[in-house]
Structure 1
Amino acid sequence: MNKQAKVIPEFANESLERAYWESHDSTAHLDWTKAKKVTFPNLKPTTKTISLRLPQHLLDAIKTAANARDVPYQSLIKVWLQEKVHSH
């Protein structure tokens, strides 16, 4: 960026800040060519609740396997699904 970057103003609240950025270009305030990629490793991925009907004997077997591993059965189901999806 060749010209001097504009100072980002102070905002009294989030609503005023949102209105400002809806009508102003951030490139006047920031040199995006110097931006660095970051990761947020401790963020949990968004999850979606689903309903899944299983035969009782299958659910019992999953709960037994989870109990043997000392983990919640729903967590074990997620691990097994993840492993299966990524093995293909």
Structure 2
Amino acid sequence: MSKPLKPVPRFASEAEERMYWEQHDSTEHLDWSQAQRVTLPNLKPTTKTISLRLPQHLLDSIKAAANSRDVPYQSLIKVWLQEKLHSQSQ
């Protein structure tokens, strides 16, 4: 038979809540065996801006390829990089 769960206390601030959870185990308050997976479809992956130096002729070729597909050239570069990584991991 499992131990009864403690109620989650009310917190006056986010800082107070953070301090509480740093010092307490959530399994005292939640039955994680009842947890369900959740999907967040509108969540975008975090992106990082980088600077990439390309020869002008290569950039022109990429832009032309993107234009023929009617997509931004940065998006096309990301798709190509992802495809290459995927093919390398197989």
TM-score, normalised by the number of residues in structure 1: 0.86
- The runs of at least 4 consecutive aligned structure 1 residues that moved more than 4 Å come to none
Q: Per chain length, whose mean CA-contact separation is higher, i.e. which structure has more relative contact order (CA < 8 Å, sep 6+)?
A: 1
Partner of 2:62: 62
- The one-letter amino acid paired with 2:16 is L
Partner of 2:14: 14
Aligned residues: 88
Identity %: 75
TM-score, normalised by the number of residues in structure 2: 0.84
Q: Which runs of 5+ in 1 are unaligned?
A: none
* Aligned-partner Cα distance in 2 for 1:76–1:66: 6
Q: Which runs of 5+ in 2 are unaligned?
A: none
